[in-house]
């Protein structure tokens, strides 16, 4: 517990200086609240601060991976590429931080040691690694969905004598791979981006692949002024239309089943989707994600693309995924499959057993040692709950969030959880979050939370907490929808399947953005239906 002399009293504390935390601080300031952000990093940016590995880039188009809350900001910022690279995103979030003069309320290099609810005073006590601890009526967790690195417990890892990196915790200096033998474990979105970059530099690159990925060509390119001007002219209309789509993306699904066309006509449409770049392939039809037969047509189409990119049939087969497409998040790449044609690149298929371990010299797979100088783990994240579970959070009756969520996360709307009054989560489990374009999704949550706090103050309400029943009903509803989808059937991080021992629960809400937004608005319209609101006098 914090020492009382060091406690600074605030209206709200925000944990995390990523896109969610930065906008939350801005909104609360506008309400006249005393709020601060704390973040362990030495700069703002959240995931984009840490994921600075070579090739790191967002798979949502830059013009829409940006805030919409301020028209001037929207109009003045110039993006340089269709898909923004990490340095440009970091520059953007720094620009926003300065433009709205937020920096003096951000405590960097300060990690949260514990967050404890003081029931008598209805306040959260936040103990930090810094000199100051905080007490605040509201605690807002803007800790991100993909921010806690998943570092597998490889046997013998500590004996490995070379350099070890994780893509999600990349060093802040240039890492030179020239003349080095490098091993990469992991072929998800991060691996797909870093592999072609390391291959260009390293003496030799060995990739250890447990599951092959579907990788759509990004077709990244520079953005010219006229294209930007055209989008900027219609920004609000385009963004409004995107909010009506399942994932809040700008490309609207073709309203047709892949099974309605002949195979030849279907493949023509898939080719159009492929050439449009990014996730356009997935929306070439309206049922690739839902109908097994349509999905199979899209799978076959990508497997053919792999065979075209990689002439060595055995190698192409090893790179060809067998699972449903879109079940794990579709990766976006640039020359990913072609990279395997290089003489300095070797692919090792691990099979289900995975990596046996490491010794001083390298990676051991089925008894063979693959000697390397550097190991890069592109092994992903303890998604959606990892960042929260690392902070000891104690709510009512001193119950910890980890205990409450021992069988999987439970929230009402992904925004709050029973037993943890006045603690909000931005894009928490139980909200659409990672299944959508994160920027509009973050904005919707931040605005909902700010509006809720404003309502509470206007109505003399001290505390908000979801009823257990509303939370149970929401979790049940989410599970019912998820269990009928194809995505439920594969071992993805959406289900926590990538982290040994993590409960298998489909964490994001998969009912789509429009239905979710409607529900959130209806809850507000009904006077925060499903939440217990307690007055100051109670």
Q: Which residues contact ligand N01 by CB under 6 A? A: 57-59, 146, 152, 167, 185-191, 193, 210-211, 329, 332, 350, 354-355, 378-381, 434, 493, 498
> Which residues make Cβ contacts (< 8 Å) with residue 46, sequence separation at least 6?
16, 17, 18, 19, 20, 21, 39, 93, 142, 144, 147
CB 102 within 8 A of CB 94: no
Q: How many CA atoms lie within 13 A of 345 on its CB side?
A: 20
Q: What is the rounded distance in angstroms from the CA atom of residue 66 to the CA atom of residue 308?
A: 35
- Our CB check for ligand N01 shows the closer of 10 and 199 to be 199
Least distance (Å) from ligand N01 to the CB of residue 51? 7
**In this structure, what token pair is assigned to residue 510?**
């998969």
Give strand ranges (E) for 92-246: 106-107, 112-118, 123-128, 133-141, 163-166, 181-185, 204-209, 215-217
Least distance (Å) from ligand N01 to the CB of residue 497? 7
- Our CB check for ligand N01 shows the closer of 377 and 450 to be 377
Q: What is the rounded distance in angstroms from the CA atom of residue 321 to the CA atom of residue 318?
A: 8
Least distance (Å) from ligand N01 to the CB of residue 428? 16
- Our CB check for ligand N01 shows the closer of 16 and 380 to be 380
- Our CB check for ligand N01 shows the closer of 7 and 63 to be 63
- Our CB check for ligand N01 shows the closer of 434 and 446 to be 434
Q: What is the rounded distance in angstroms from the CA atom of residue 173 to the CA atom of residue 193?
A: 18
Least distance (Å) from ligand N01 to the CB of residue 535? 42
- Our CB check for ligand N01 shows the closer of 2 and 184 to be 184
Least distance (Å) from ligand N01 to the CB of residue 323? 9
**In this structure, what token pair is assigned to residue 95?**
């620009």
Least distance (Å) from ligand N01 to the CB of residue 339? 15
CB 375 within 8 A of CB 358: yes
Least distance (Å) from ligand N01 to the CB of residue 28? 28
Least distance (Å) from ligand N01 to the CB of residue 60? 7
- Our CB check for ligand N01 shows the closer of 91 and 519 to be 91
- Our CB check for ligand N01 shows the closer of 242 and 453 to be 242
Q: What is the rounded distance in angstroms from the CA atom of residue 105 to the CA atom of residue 34?
A: 9
Please state the separation of Cα 55 from the chain's center in Å.
17
Least distance (Å) from ligand N01 to the CB of residue 370? 13
Least distance (Å) from ligand N01 to the CB of residue 499? 8
Write the DSSP assignment of 480-504 as a string of letters. HHHHTSGGGGS--GGGTTTSTT---
Helices (H), 176-326: 189-201, 225-233, 235-243, 263-276, 292-309, 313-319
Q: What is the rounded distance in angstroms from the CA atom of residue 518 to the CA atom of residue 397?
A: 33
- Our CB check for ligand N01 shows the closer of 56 and 315 to be 56
The SS3 call for residue 519 is helix
Tell me the residue number closest to ligand N01, measured at CB.
188
- Our CB check for ligand N01 shows the closer of 280 and 379 to be 379
Q: What is the rounded distance in angstroms from the CA atom of residue 284 to the CA atom of residue 271?
A: 9
């Amino acid at each position: 517990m914090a020492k009382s002399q060091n406690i600074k009293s605030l209206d709200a504390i925000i944990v995390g200086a990523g896109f969610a935390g930065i906008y939350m601080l801005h909104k609360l300031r506008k309400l006249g609240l005393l709020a601060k952000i704390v973040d362990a990093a030495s700069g703002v940016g959240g995931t984009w601060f840490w994921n600075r590995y070579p090739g790191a880039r967002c798979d949502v188009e830059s013009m829409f991976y940006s805030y919409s809350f301020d028209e001037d900001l929207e109009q003045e910022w110039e993006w340089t590429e269709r898909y923004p690279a990490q340095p440009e995103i970091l520059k953007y979030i720094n620009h926003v931080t300065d433009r709205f003069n937020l920096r003096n309320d951000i405590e960097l290099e300060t990690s949260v040691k514990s967050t404890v609810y003081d029931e008598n005073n209805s306040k959260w006590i936040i103990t930090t690694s810094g000199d100051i601890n905080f007490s605040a009526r509201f605690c807002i967790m803007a800790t991100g969905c993909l921010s806690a690195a998943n570092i597998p417990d490889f046997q013998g890892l500590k004996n490995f004598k070379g350099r070890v990196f994780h893509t999600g915790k990349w060093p802040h200096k240039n890492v030179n791979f020239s003349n080095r033998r490098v091993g990469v474990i992991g072929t998800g979105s991060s691996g797909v981006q870093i592999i072609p970059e390391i291959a260009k530099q390293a003496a030799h690159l060995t990739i250890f692949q447990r599951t092959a990925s579907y990788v759509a060509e990004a077709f990244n390119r520079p953005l010219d002024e006229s294209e930007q001007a055209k989008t900027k002219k219609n920004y609000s209309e385009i963004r409004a239309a995107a909010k009506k789509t399942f994932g809040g993306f700008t490309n609207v699904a073709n309203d047709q089943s892949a099974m309605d066309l002949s195979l030849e006509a279907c493949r023509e449409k898939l080719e159009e989707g492929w050439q449009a770049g990014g996730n356009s392939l997935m929306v070439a039809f309206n049922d690739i994600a839902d109908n097994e037969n349509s999905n199979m047509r899209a799978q076959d189409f990508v497997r053919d693309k792999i065979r075209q990119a990689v002439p060595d049939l055995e190698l192409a087969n090893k790179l060809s995924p067998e699972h449903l497409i879109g079940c794990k998040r579709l990766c976006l790449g640039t020359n990913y499959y072609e990279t395997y044609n290089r003489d300095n690149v070797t692919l090792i298929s691990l099979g289900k057993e995975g990596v046996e371990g490491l010794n001083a010299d390298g990676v051991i797979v089925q008894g063979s040692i693959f000697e390397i100088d550097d190991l890069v783990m592109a092994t992903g994240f303890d998604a959606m709950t990892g960042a929260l579970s690392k902070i000891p959070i104690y709510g009512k009756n001193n119950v910890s969030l980890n205990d409450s969520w021992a069988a999987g996360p439970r929230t009402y709307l992904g925004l709050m959880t029973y037993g943890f009054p006045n603690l909000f989560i931005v894009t928490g489990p139980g909200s659409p979050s990672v299944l959508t374009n994160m920027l509009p999704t973050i904005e919707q949550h931040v605005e909902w939370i700010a509006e809720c706090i404003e309502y509470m103050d206007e109505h003399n309400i001290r505390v908000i907490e979801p009823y257990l029943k509303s939370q149970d009903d929401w979790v049940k509803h989410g599970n019912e929808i998820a269990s009928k989808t194809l995505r439920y059937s594969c071992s993805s991080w959406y289900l926590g399947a990538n982290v040994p021992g993590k409960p298998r629960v489909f964490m994001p809400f998969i009912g789509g953005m429009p239905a979710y937004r409607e529900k959130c608005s209806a809850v507000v319209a009904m006077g925060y239906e499903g939440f217990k609101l307690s007055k100051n006098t109670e």
